[in-house]
Amino acid sequence: MRRHDRPNGSSAADRANRTRLTDGQVLKRLLPYLWPAGQPAMKLRVVLALLFLAVAKGANVTVPIWYKGAVDALSGNGLAQAVAANPAVAIPIGFILAYGLARVLSLAFGELRDAIFERVSQRAMRVAALNVFRHLHALSLRFHLERQTGGLSRVVERGTKAIDSLLSTSLFNVLPTLLEILLVTGILWKLFDFRFAAVTFGTVALYIGYTITVTNWRTRIRRSMLDADTSANAKAIDTLLNYETVKYFGNEVFEANRYDKALRVYEDAAVRTQTSLSLLNIGQGIIIAGGVVAVMWMAATGIIKGQLTIGDFVLVNTYLLQLYQPLNIFGFVYRGIRESLNDMERMFELLTVDREVEDKPGAPALVTAGAAIRFRDVHFAYDKRRPILKGIDFTVPAGRTVAVVGPTGAGKSTLSRLLYRFYDVTGGAVEIDHQDVRQVTQASLRAAIGIVPQDTVLFNDTIRYNIAYGRVDASEAELERVAAAAQILDFIKALPDGWNTMVGERGLKLSGGEKQRVAIARTLLKDPPILILDEATSALDTHTEREIQAALTDAARGRSTLVIAHRLSTVVDADEIIVLDAGQIVERGSHAALLALNGAYAALWARQQEGVNRAETKLEA
């Protein structure tokens, strides 16, 4: 059977950036999923599958023996006289029935093995994927900002599929073949002599060694082909995406030559790949033919000398052909095992990534009594070479509202990330009711905080699902109550599908104002003592902003509220306004007091009011 290659690889950059696990480490991480502690039923399935595997192979290696018996019976001396006397008696019924039974048992126990082990395989895939999924959710925000979500999804998907692929190829292909090789070698030694066993075993060993050596060489060639394919594809997509730019500068010929250069690299690599595949197939064919010729020559010599029968000749030939059938795809199987180990390695590597933000051993739950927030001399930097916050110190009293304003890049949104403990401060502390957020459990901390972000991202599900996400066990009455408070209940009821309306990918079927109302509703459903409004209306038009602002004001009533704002018109009623610039507090006070200072806040206010006045003038015109 010929094997054909198809591109299925990763980029060179991705391989360079990975921390390698050895094959032994990968298999060591896989073993607990196949032999799970405290699950005797799963362990029993593994034992039964291996037992059925052995029985299937045991039955399979007897097939040539029964075949030999039938051949000898039909070609023995006196057969003509027996046929003339009684044709029915002359037929070797026992050998034929035994031959058929052996084939049936081999097939039946092989299928039983697959059926019994499938639960183990699928359970291993599910538990491995679940462990990685949980770990990814436990990793810091820094990790997720630095990695492509689609890439992570592919790593997990390929890794879990690789478990099934590895088990099917190694446990149910390589292992049975190796077992069959040992059984056949032993049988040939027992029935004939050492020479038959030695030639058979030597031929198989040479075949496997040659296949592994050439396949490892071919893997490097294929990798260059895959990289060339990726490069050519990237250049084609890039130039088509920039179609207008190409036309602006008349560079069609330049782009065609650049694409052709990449295709020539792929062409050369593809030719080398196919040439190496042909070399692999030819070499395997020579080794198999040499082994078959050698044992058949010895068997034929034994027949001429009267030491062996025609059935013996058929027996050794059948055994070798039976062995070489699975070996014929060994190169493909070996490459599949290598790819599976690589895919599993990438998935298991995710489990080794440091969580960065972890609960301290024995950390207590956060206890709120008013939920006063304190940023105490907070210093923070995403990169130590570039400080973001430099000694921030302020308090959000229990049940009061404090707003933080300032230019883009001042560090405003970083405050909410530190409060949620997506990152840990590099200096100072963030406290809630005098409890350092680093000393309490993250689950209890985040349960006490609700947020309405600037860009509300919704799940591609129903409005009901997205609002109920605030508290998944909420009743219908509670959902309607918070929807009414967020001023979205009438909108939901007017929809043809009502609560079951799908919002689309990232909520794109809803307008900006509708998405913000959904965000407010699910935060109200969570009913946290602390509320963060992170530029919750900056992406909305002025009219929608005023409507949403009324809902936000109601939502903030009675809660400790941190407002991070760009539009100053949304914070004029805050109990205190903090003006942040370059990671430092430059002004603080009420709206009126800050205007009276005629400083940074007053300058921001004047610029924004001027922009609002110009917009209103245009509308009137």
Per-residue pLDDT tens over the stretch 540-551: 666 666 777 777
Task: Identify the pLDDT of residue 617.
Answer: 57
Q: 318-327, 423-432, 481-490, 510-519: which has the minimum mean pLDDT?
A: 318-327
More confident residue, 443 or 147: 443
Closest to 314 in 3D by CA, of 326, 305, 327, 302: 302
Q: Averaging pLDDT over each range in 220-234, 340-354, 552-566, which range is the top one? A: 552-566
Q: Is the pLDDT of residue 86 over 50?
A: no
Going by C-beta distance under 8 Å and a sequence separation of 6 or more, which residues neighbour residue 279? 214
| Residue closest to 59 by CA, chosen among 268, 322, 402, 317 | 322
Whole-number Cα distances in Å, 261 to 266, 273, 369: 9, 19, 69
pLDDT of residue 407: 82
Q: How confident is the model at residue 83 (pLDDT cuts 50, 70, 90)?
A: very low
621: number of Cβ within 10 Å: 5
190-204, 223-237, 273-287, 337-351: which has the minimum mean pLDDT?
223-237
Mean pLDDT (the chain) is 81
- Domains (ranges, CATH) in the chain? 12-350 (1.20.1560.10), 373-620 (3.40.50.300)
| Mean pLDDT score, 590-611 | 86
Provide the phi-psi class of 132: left if phi over 0, else alpha when psi is between -120 and 50, else beta.
alpha
Torsion sign across C-alpha atoms 300, 304, 309, 310: positive
**Higher model confidence: residue 380 or residue 143?**
380
Q: Give the DSSP letter string of 380-419.
A: E-SBTTB-SEEEEEEEE-TT-EEEEE-STTSSHHHHHHHH
- Tokens found for residue 265: 């690299």
Amino acid at 358: E
Helix (H, G, I), strand (E, B) or coil at 256: helix
For the entire predicted model, the pTM comes to 0.65
Nearest to 434 by CA among 406, 398, 484: 398
pLDDT classification of 375: cutoffs 50, 70, 90 = very high
Q: What is the pLDDT of residues 302-350, one digit of tens each?
A: 888 888 778 888 888 787 777 777 777 776 777 778 778 878 888 888 8
- Is 7's pLDDT higher than 50? no
pLDDT bin (cut points 50, 70, 90) of residue 145 is: low
Residue 81 has pLDDT above 50, yes or no: no
Confidence check: pLDDT of 113 > 50: yes
Q: 3-class SS at 555?
A: helix
pLDDT number for residue 14: 40
> Residues 395, 372: contact at Cβ < 8 Å?
yes
In sequence order, the 6+-apart residues with CB closer than 8 A to the CB of 269 are: 221, 224, 225, 228
- Tokens coding 343: 């895919």
Higher per-residue confidence, 269 vs 615: 269
Q: Beta-carbon neighbour count of residue 558 at 10 Å?
A: 11
